[in-house]
Structure 1
Amino acid sequence: MKNYRALLRDYPADKRAAESRFREAAILTAMGNETDAFDSYQLFIERHPGDPLYAQAVAQQEAVAHAAAKGDIRTSFLGLKSRLERKTIVEMLEKVRDNAPRANSAPRAQYMIGQVNESRKNPVAAIAAYEKLVDDYPNSSVAPDAQFRIGEILLKQAREGNQDQANLERAKNAYRDLLLAYPNSPSTAQAKQRIATIGSRDLQASYNVAEFYRKKGELDSASYYYQEVVDGAAPSDLRNRAAARLAELKR
């Protein structure tokens, strides 16, 4: 390590500089200094794009970034080990993506940005990352799951209390986009189930509105929403109750 660094410091233009930088990164990885190794690979990638070791450096750097994203790399502070900050991991993955934007590593890195943000409870950033993946790499192998994750995050927010109609509608549209763009995705069956679930929530909301108007004595408005449930629901207890209420109001 000392010899490699001495050469890089004193003879940065030497023909052995590229290999020295690569070996430095490999040694740092072996020593458990993965974040420093990542930076060394980044210097190699920036300064030696035509070197025979370039592809290997790109692959090794990607492996380090993904290990960080999965929580396999820890940082030490005052003797305590903790996972890397979200911002640090995202920046690492962005470099992996931007170093080879046309390679398969780019959409994989973008997908992991979404995963990191999602796991660290940052749904807005996660959705933005998944949307960027679908927009920039629509034909990648991870694009269908990214589209599905968008719907899942929005639906989760609804389940946890943010049940405004716009949020549910966005989730429904995300699942519909999946069915349209990736009809052969393994997630299509789940997407269809989610759409049906959201639809039933919409109808339950309509029934609740109808009940509200009925109790206030605004019967025309109540009839409108009961009819909406009857027209939109499959045979079910909810549909039967709405039909019964509607029949009462017409007497």
Structure 2
Amino acid sequence: MFKFSTFTLSITLSISLISFNILTAQADILDYFKKDLSKVPTKEKLKEQEPIASNKLNAALQFEQQGRQKKAIAAHRNIVKNYPFTTSAAKSQFKIGEYYMAASKDKKSFDAFQDFIDKHKSSDSYMDAISNQYKIAERVLANKKQKKLSLLPDKVRDSDLLKWFLSIIDNAPFSKYAPLAQFAIAESYQNEKKASLAILSYQKLVDKYPNHKLSSEAQYRIGDIARKKINSGSRDSANITYAKNAMEDVIVAYENSPRAKEAADALKQLDSIQGTQLYETGLFYEKQKQLRSAVIYYEKAIKSKNPKITEMAKVRIKNITPQIVSDPTPSLSSPESNINKINQQKKKIDTKSASNEEGPSILPPPPKNP
């Protein structure tokens, strides 16, 4: 019998797994080329196609100069369809996108430029196509804002517009258009009252492009969305904490931004709201005669930067402290009271309900002597 150590067995399995992955990858690559080689013309064939496609491109451009747009677009489509691997095909595909863009056919133009991007990544016009895609998406978004109160349906659905902006980011994640598209996504969610998605999208912009000119605005809006919830009546303390943290980040990370002063003002307002809520909570507990709980919230309210709240909280503590001293018995809802109640219950003997504890084990009787 052969004995293998754990280390040897692990190495053997690792090598086998790597070999399998390499073979699988090679098979995938071969399948890929087998699939595409049937479409790719030979070098000689491509050499024959280039001048033909070039002549057709010149004819299409002449149609365009003559104002015969339909003839021009038909010629460009013919080149893309029949000579897709020629240099003229890339130019024709770009022209198709431009034609639809000029005709305000937003969906067709965006898709045409996407075809160009997918098939001609090495083209000098690649970034021009990205730029045009952003212009199309931005135009549609602007139209949607204007038609917000209109009863007419939009030509481009919100879900499609969202996909467009995401495509722009995927096509060129390090271009100047990526953060602009990300901001547009967040703003769209905000306009649709989808607060959580808007915050996540703004945060993504701040995280991925912290030095972009829109990052300070995105950071401010994160806090502002939470602040608006508070102003609309929300008493969720998490919103205050979230809003304060966001505004503090604006002040610290973007101190020279136009939003820094507004963030400082917002922070003062949030601090005042938080202090007021803490004071009101203290009043609630005081009315319930839960004085120790009231003091806890009054002490938190004292930390508020609002001098009025601070002074009122100090007065309340001063007034109720003698009552706590004269009545050392904790309030019923205090932790100490709850513990005492539990201990008292444990001392009582329950003679009615069955015992939950197991008694001594009962052995069977010894066998009788024969």
2:134 paired residue number: 62
In the alignment, does 2:157 pair up with 1:101?
no
Structure whose CA Rg is larger: 2
Alignment match of 1:243 (pick from 296, 307, 314): 314
Residues 233 and 55 of structure 1: is their aligned pair in 2 closer, same or farther, counting only changes over 3 Å? Answer: closer
List per-residue Cα deviations over 1:117-169 (Å, max 9, x = no partner): 11112111111111111111111111111111111111122223433111211
Percent identity reads: 30
Kept in 2: contact 1:110–1:129 (CA 8 A): yes
In the alignment, does 2:216 pair up with 1:144?
yes
Residues 62 and 169 of structure 1: is their aligned pair in 2 closer, same or farther, counting only changes over 3 Å? Answer: same
Residues 194 and 223 of structure 1: is their aligned pair in 2 closer, same or farther, counting only changes over 3 Å? Answer: same
Q: Which amino acid aligns with 1:178?
A: V
Equivalent runs, 1:107-126 vs 2, <5 Å: 107-126=179-198
How many pairs does the alignment contain?
A: 247
In the TM superposition, residue 33 of structure 1 has moved relative to its aligned partner by 0.5
In the TM superposition, residue 101 of structure 1 has moved relative to its aligned partner by 1.2
Determine which structure has greater relative contact order: mean sequence separation of CA pairs < 8 Å that are 6+ residues apart, divided by chain length.
1
DSSP 3-state at the match of 1:177: helix
Residues 249 and 156 of structure 1: is their aligned pair in 2 closer, same or farther, counting only changes over 3 Å? Answer: same
Kept in 1: contact 2:113–2:129 (CA 8 A): yes
DSSP 3-state at the match of 1:205: helix
DSSP 3-state at the match of 1:71: helix
Residues 119 and 67 of structure 1: is their aligned pair in 2 closer, same or farther, counting only changes over 3 Å? Answer: same
Kept in 2: contact 1:86–1:120 (CA 8 A): no
Kept in 2: contact 1:74–1:81 (CA 8 A): no
Structure 2, unmatched stretches of 5+, are 1-72, 323-370
Residues 109 and 4 of structure 1: is their aligned pair in 2 closer, same or farther, counting only changes over 3 Å? Answer: same
Supply the distance in 1 between the matched residues of 2:220 and 2:234 (Cα, whole angstroms).
19
Aligned-pair Cα RMSD in Å = 2.2
1:44 paired residue number: 116
In the TM superposition, residue 22 of structure 1 has moved relative to its aligned partner by 0.9
DSSP 3-state at the match of 1:16: helix
In the TM superposition, residue 231 of structure 1 has moved relative to its aligned partner by 4.0
Supply the distance in 2 between the matched residues of 1:73 and 1:32 (Cα, whole angstroms).
17
Equivalent runs, 1:194-213 vs 2, <5 Å: 194-213=266-285
Equivalent runs, 1:1-251 vs 2, <5 Å: 1-71=73-143, 80-82=152-154, 84-236=156-308, 238-250=309-321
List per-residue Cα deviations over 1:71-128 (Å, max 9, x = no partner): 36999xxxx5426322211110111112111111111111111111111121111111
Kept in 2: contact 1:22–1:57 (CA 8 A): yes
Kept in 2: contact 1:86–1:117 (CA 8 A): no
